[in-house]
Structure 1
Amino acid sequence: YDGRLLSFDDKTGLVYELDLETKKAIPWIYLGAGNGKSTKGQKSEWATKREGLLYVGSSGNELIKDGVAFNKDMLWVKVITPEGLVTPQNWEDKYDALRKQVDVHFPAALVHESCTWSDVHKRWFFMPLRKLEGPFDPNTYPHLSTNILLSADENFQDIKNVTVGDVHGDHGFCSFKFIPGTDDTVVVALKSEDQMVDGKPQYSTHIMVFLLDGTVIQDELRVSDLKFEGIEFI
């Protein structure tokens, strides 16, 4: 973004500039949870550039107890200028519109780790990591991945969805980008695995390539036994 390679800490809310020469992560700005007026950092999960501004969002789901949402911090998005000025936006209605498109209604939710804006199509694109049927359950959560590609116009009034390949319950979309030179018609995506097996953590990363209509060019290919959550063209 604006000549910077950025990384986001989903615990502290810090945004780092990665210096490829010195191989150091240099703190740039802080993003507070929710409306930003918080000492708790935003759980940043995705970032994309639109009209010269950087949009940084979280997972887009509420925290629920006894059927009531007691925390909506992750429904907020931060809009950042090249100078580092941060403006918070409440995206509750936008996330809800995405859910309704695929017949997901509270307390069910979509959990997002990826979003990309297309200047070519003038649309937002999302590939949900998980589709929750209700409140968060650590036992079932790692197995609720999706094969959904959602897109919305600038105002989230026109929303479409397609399926991409088969559902692999343990592998969820965590990042995707349009491949340069394809006029935003070909997508490369990462899917990650993060679960406990026989009491031990098990991770993996898979890559796939497909067209916007859902046609798969390269089906899931395991590329690492580590968990990678971002892909970028430099």
Structure 2
Amino acid sequence: MQDWRKAVFQTPLTYKMGNSTVRLQSRVVAGLVVTAAVVLLYLLLQRGRQGLTVQPWTPAGPAGPSGCNTTYPLTRPVATKTGGVRYRVAVISDLDTGSRRGAAWVSVLRRGWLSWDERRRAADVWWDGDDVTLTSSLAQGGRGMELSELVVFDGHLLSVDDRTGVVYRLTSGQAVPWLILADGDGAVAKGFKGEWMAVKDEHLYIGGLGKEWTTTTGEVLNHNPQFVKRVSCGGGVEHLDWQPVYQRLMAAAGLVAPGYLIHEAAAWSQRLRQWVFLPRRASSERYDDLADERRGTNLLLRADAQFADVQKSLVGPVIPSHGFSSFKFIPGTDDRWLVALKSEEDSVANRTNSYITVFSVDGEVALPETPLDGHMKFEGIEFV
């Protein structure tokens, strides 16, 4: 018996391959077989679970040249039994004058899930039952916490107040001030009215309405909303004059002054190497505060990094009172599909609503506009 055991476990196995001889230790072979069997069993067990981990997903930690934390999204996506992928999402509210609560100001953060099946071109959204109320004591002119966008940057969930110019980090149910952005070129004694946020080349771009600041009847006062703030991971701020950029977007849309575009939704696609803008309003006529409420558009504008080539396309039907307020590319789709918010403000009918929709950059709609509960204006969406 001992001789037999020695023959099996101690004597190397010898194989002849052409003119070469390969010797393998039996113990090594047995160990490799056992390890492979354990790994295979583990994978089979995991595949049967609904929470199967989906790749790709960037783990936490600095990965970029500047040391920025490039984790995105913040929560690992999971696969569904039907072959789709489920992502954690959040939206943020801009309650305008309704944000005041005594001596403080509030915004509502709502969290949920987006399920996406690209093979079936099917999307579904459902929300948690408990909204989070974020509170701040910072205000300007008696208004504050009118948060207009959500973005993940340097491992943090950020939002910007379009009244005070304060950029908040949203963490553990709190809004923690990070930066204060001054209007225009940065030398203006007024907070920047930030409306959109986009990450490009490890910097955060924060933009305004993109049109001149005017009176309620369209008289031009200044060009401050046509500046863009370029923010580093360390909090350094550059003030960029984007008037030529916004003029090229206007030209691509076929509009000239006194016509205008209003921007609240923009993003940079690293995959496509393009900027994508979904204007909230578009008009060939002079700005008017009341008429503007019914100048929603279905424009989608795509531009290269230099805005030398700007392309226009259309997404879905035009609903005059509905305008894009935010969007994000769905992870894992090569930035071909995105989820967007639309807002409705009708002062005549005293109606405020928000809608969520999913479509491709080519205009194919997978989820038609679907209302969010609560009759609130949600102006930012992000994968968290």
Q: Who is 2:186 aligned against? A: 36
Match of 1:177 among 328, 334, 346: 328
Unaligned runs of 5+ in 1: none
Kindly indicate whether the alpha-carbon contact (under 8 Å) linking 1:60 and 1:110 is maintained by their aligned counterparts in 2. Answer: yes
Alignment of 1:96-135 (within 5 A): 96-135=247-286
CA distance in structure 1 between the partners assigned to 2:219 and 2:194 by the alignment: 23
Match of 2:378 among 205, 228, 233: 228
Mean CA deviation greater in 58-67 or 112-121? 58-67
CA-to-partner distance for each residue in 1:30-65, whole Å, 9 max, x for gaps?
111100111201000000100000000001001346
CA distance in structure 1 between the partners assigned to 2:258 and 2:289 by the alignment: 16
CA distance in structure 1 between the partners assigned to 2:290 and 2:224 by the alignment: 23
Describe the SS at the equivalent of 2:184: coil
Alignment of 1:78-93 (within 5 A): 78-93=229-244
CA-to-partner distance for each residue in 1:69-126, whole Å, 9 max, x for gaps?
3310000000000110000000000000000011111111100001000000111000
Q: Who is 2:357 aligned against? A: 208
1:7 Cα deviation from its structure 2 partner:
1.0
TM-score (norm 2): 0.58
Alignment of 1:56-75 (within 5 A): 56-64=206-214, 69-75=220-226
Q: Who is 2:319 aligned against? A: 168
CA distance in structure 2 between the partners assigned to 1:186 and 1:90 by the alignment: 30
Code of the aligned partner of 1:218: L
Kindly indicate whether the alpha-carbon contact (under 8 Å) linking 1:111 and 1:132 is maintained by their aligned counterparts in 2. Answer: no
Match of 1:51 among 198, 201, 210: 201
Match of 1:2 among 154, 158, 162: 154
Describe the SS at the equivalent of 1:197: coil
Kindly name which structure, 1 or 2, has the bigger radius of gyration based on alpha carbons: 2
Decide whether aligned partners of structure 1 residues 185 and 67 sit closer, same or farther in structure 2, where only a CA change above 3 A counts.
closer
Larger helix share, 1 or 2: 2
Describe the SS at the equivalent of 1:129: strand
Code of the aligned partner of 1:216: V
The reply on whether 1:196 has 2:330 as its aligned counterpart is no
Decide whether aligned partners of structure 1 residues 93 and 78 sit closer, same or farther in structure 2, where only a CA change above 3 A counts.
same
Q: Who is 2:167 aligned against? A: 15
TM-score (norm 1): 0.95
1:171 Cα deviation from its structure 2 partner:
0.6
CA distance in structure 2 between the partners assigned to 1:68 and 1:8 by the alignment: 27
CA distance in structure 2 between the partners assigned to 1:15 and 1:68 by the alignment: 29
1:68 Cα deviation from its structure 2 partner:
6.0
Describe the SS at the equivalent of 2:247: helix
CA distance in structure 2 between the partners assigned to 1:221 and 1:28 by the alignment: 33
Matched pairs, number: 230
Decide whether aligned partners of structure 1 residues 35 and 212 sit closer, same or farther in structure 2, where only a CA change above 3 A counts.
same
